[in-house]
Chains A and B, each alone.
Chain A
Amino acid sequence: MKIEELEKEINEGTESISIEERRKFLQMGLAVTGIFLGGSVLSLTSIAQANQNSPDINIPIEGQYPYTKHYSMVMRQNRCIDCEKCVVACKQTNHIPDAHDAYRTAIQERLTTENGSERREFRPVLCNHCNRPPCVRVCPTKATYKDPETGIVLMDYVKCIGCKTCMAACPYNARYFNEEKYAIDKCNFCLDTRLAAGKTETACAAACPARVRIFGDLKDKSTEIYRLLHMPDTKIWVLRPDTGALPNVFYMNA
């Protein structure tokens, strides 16, 4: 390969490469980390090395979103002020019973002391709609399943026998037993209550005054969530990456 000659070529950019070509390329065990053509550097490195440089290997890689509409959520964590408007909106929209353990989303709080003054940190949590959901794997009646179109982890309340195995399996404690439905209930990204009606946001995301929760389709490059998750030099993390569940709720400070 003569670099001088390649430099004279017009830069095709990485956008024009089809997913198929990209996959083939990745199968070679190489990843592009430099400027592809036209620039002064054409850098190839092994995938393992490239992934080590990325903040978290649990962050889905471009071209590897397996669903037609790949719904996910970004939490801009440092903006959360625990006003819990999201929690209230979720309860109203999704008819969550007023029981002490009934919830689809919550805000966690961490209090620390720094230089003698109290510091507060808040973190919104909900079902992570994992690509490899442990809850789905353990359900004996297939009452909980991954929606093949949207990737949302859904419940078939009729099939559910209330054995609570999924509750035990979930790494995020995102499930509760709904006494009224007599079945396990969980967040479904407002699929039935809002998305089916053409709304583009979940109730919690729409209610957030600080725009902490950004919901959207990762497949659609025009969405804010796509932009946020593909911003260079932004640290993105997921909760409990060690479980290998490949969650679809991402966290960042932005």
Chain B
Amino acid sequence: MKQYRMKTVGTILLAGSFFLVSNSIAAETFDEDTYGPEAPIIWEQPTKVSFSHKTHTMEAGLACDSCHDELFTMESGAALATGTMTMAAMLEGQYCGSCHDGNTAFATNMQCASCHMDMTELIPTDLIVWTKPVKAVIFDHKTHIEDFGLECEACHDSLFAMEKGAAERTTDFTMQALYEGKYCGKCHDGPTAFAANTRCNSCHIGVKGYNRLMGNDGQHGKNNKAGH
């Protein structure tokens, strides 16, 4: 009994010391000269994106010269004014992509919502057109979100990575996988949405449909001679 009481006292003391330590960290004042501006930078254009100096300097331990002025000029709006700060540029290692490459920090084609504040701005308006393993299959974000009310999380990232061409690079992006409940087959199972082994041509637009979509059906008659 005595031993038990000692233990309890010890636990309480230990917990208390943790509390004090964490409290002292939280109490550290944010020094703008050391850590940069305290308020996060918010870009409104082309999409709403936020950047927090605090997260990168005070928490991740980066120095000012990690980014300034090699990657970003120390001037408000300068990066955006270049017109070259795009997701494509970042994927090539420019701007944020210098560290956000998948090794040093999460890649720029992942965790979109970490920086993008309004994900609805990012919903692709164009059709997704897959050409592998067969040409060609279409997917419309608009139909699935607006007409059927799906959230991004319904498919991302458990069924589809939020990255162009990711599904096509896998070896199992096949009808068989769909029948087993993978990819589109998660919902296109019959009860939830039309089964994947029915209404083939709702999604399969074929080579002819693909050529029309890409605006190069000028080769009239080619492969199309009979019956037209």
| Chain A partners chain B | yes
B208 close to A81 (CB less than 8 A): no
Cβ contacts under 8 Å, B201 to chain A: 81, 119-122
Kindly state the separation between the CA atoms of A87 and B207 in the bound complex, as whole angstroms: 11
Give 1 or 0 for each of B204-228: 1 = CB within 8 Å of chain A CB. Answer: 1111110000000001011111111
Kindly state the separation between the CA atoms of A212 and B198 in the bound complex, as whole angstroms: 14
Cβ contacts under 8 Å, A87 to chain B: 223
Minimum CB distance partner of A172 in chain B: B226
Kindly state the separation between the CA atoms of A81 and B222 in the bound complex, as whole angstroms: 18
A83 close to B200 (CB less than 8 A): no
B225 close to A103 (CB less than 8 A): yes
A190 CB–B CB distance under 8 Å: no
A79 CB–B CB distance under 8 Å: yes
A47 CB–B CB distance under 8 Å: no
Which of A106, A121, A174, A209 sits near B224, CB closer than 8 Å? A106
Q: A-B pairs with CB below 8 Å: how many?
A: 74
Kindly state the separation between the CA atoms of A87 and B224 in the bound complex, as whole angstroms: 11
Minimum CB distance partner of A78 in chain B: B200
B221 close to A84 (CB less than 8 A): no
Interface of B is mostly: loop
B134 CB–A CB distance under 8 Å: yes
- Interface residues in A54-94 by Cβ distance below 8 A to B read 78-85, 87
Which of B135, B200, B222, B228 sits near A100, CB closer than 8 Å? B222
Asked if A83 meets B134 with Cβ closer than 8 Å, knowing A109-B206, A120-B206, the reply is: yes
Kindly state the separation between the CA atoms of A119 and B206 in the bound complex, as whole angstroms: 12
A120 close to B209 (CB less than 8 A): yes
Cβ contacts under 8 Å, B221 to chain A: 100-101
What 15 new A-B contacts, CB under 8 Å, besides A84-B207, A106-B224, A210-B200? A78-B200, A81-B134, A81-B200, A83-B204, A84-B206, A87-B223, A101-B225, A103-B225, A103-B226, A119-B201, A122-B201, A173-B226, A173-B227, A174-B226, A209-B133
Provide 29 A-B residue pairs closer than 8 Å at the C-beta atoms, listed in order of the A residue.
A79-B200, A81-B206, A82-B204, A82-B205, A82-B206, A82-B207, A82-B209, A83-B206, A84-B206, A84-B207, A84-B223, A87-B223, A100-B221, A101-B225, A103-B225, A106-B225, A106-B226, A107-B206, A107-B223, A108-B228, A109-B208, A109-B224, A120-B205, A120-B209, A121-B201, A123-B227, A173-B225, A173-B226, A176-B225
The 6 closest A-B pairs by CB, nearest first: A82-B206, A81-B204, A83-B134, A120-B201, A84-B207, A173-B226
